[in-house]
């Protein structure tokens, strides 16, 4: 009888923990999907104010490990120019951050094939995972300034 009661207590405790973790993950994704367009609009507005064109990306990585993500992209003026594909560069920044959980171009490790090591992407830990923001099209300093605007706004919605 004691073993049965202990088993039930353990079962319900584990179930409760898993339910809370599942809700936390889902709520993080919900916050992202409901607000990604607004974050991208803020990045676009900031880029236009300083007259840079390129690509903005906002993303959410649920949990502690990068095993999946949700991203949304917006072209701000143009996606390519005579020699650069800003979308490719932006996703290179994002992919580096997904692996390192550090801002792009941080130098925390050697650059892997497929990465460029450029700055212009920012990542922040939130209560249910990571939020990232990238801009590609201006100088690195400009990319960081406009990406930070969308990242900071979106992270506040996660309680950061």
The answer to whether the Cα torsion of 85, 86, 91, 93 is positive or negative is positive
**Taking a C-beta distance cutoff of 8 angstroms, is the pair 52, 45 a contact?**
no
Residue 26, pLDDT score: 78
| Average model confidence (pLDDT) across the chain | 89
What pTM was computed for the model? 0.83
The whole-number average pLDDT for the span 13-35 is 66
CATH domain 2-157 topology: Beta-Lactamase (3.30.450)
**Taking a C-beta distance cutoff of 8 angstroms, is the pair 118, 142 a contact?**
no
The whole-number average pLDDT for the span 108-131 is 96
Residue 5, pLDDT score: 53
């Amino acid at each position: 009888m004691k073993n049965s009661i202990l088993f039930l207590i353990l079962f319900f405790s584990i179930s409760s923990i898993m339910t809370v973790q599942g809700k936390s993950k889902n709520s993080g994704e919900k916050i992202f999907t409901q607000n990604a367009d607004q974050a991208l609009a803020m990045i676009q507005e900031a880029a236009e104010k300083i007259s840079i064109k390129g690509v903005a990306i906002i993303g959410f990585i649920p949990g502690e490990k990068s095993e999946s993500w949700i991203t949304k992209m917006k072209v701000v003026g143009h996606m390519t120019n005579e020699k650069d594909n800003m979308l490719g560069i932006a996703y290179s920044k994002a992919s580096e951050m997904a692996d390192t959980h550090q801002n792009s171009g941080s130098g925390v490790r050697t650059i892997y094939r497929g990465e460029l090591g450029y700055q212009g992407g920012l990542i922040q830990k939130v209560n249910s995972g990571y939020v990232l923001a990238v801009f590609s099209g201006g100088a690195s300093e400009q990319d960081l300034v406009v990406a930070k605007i969308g990242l900071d706004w979106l992270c506040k919605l996660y309680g950061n």
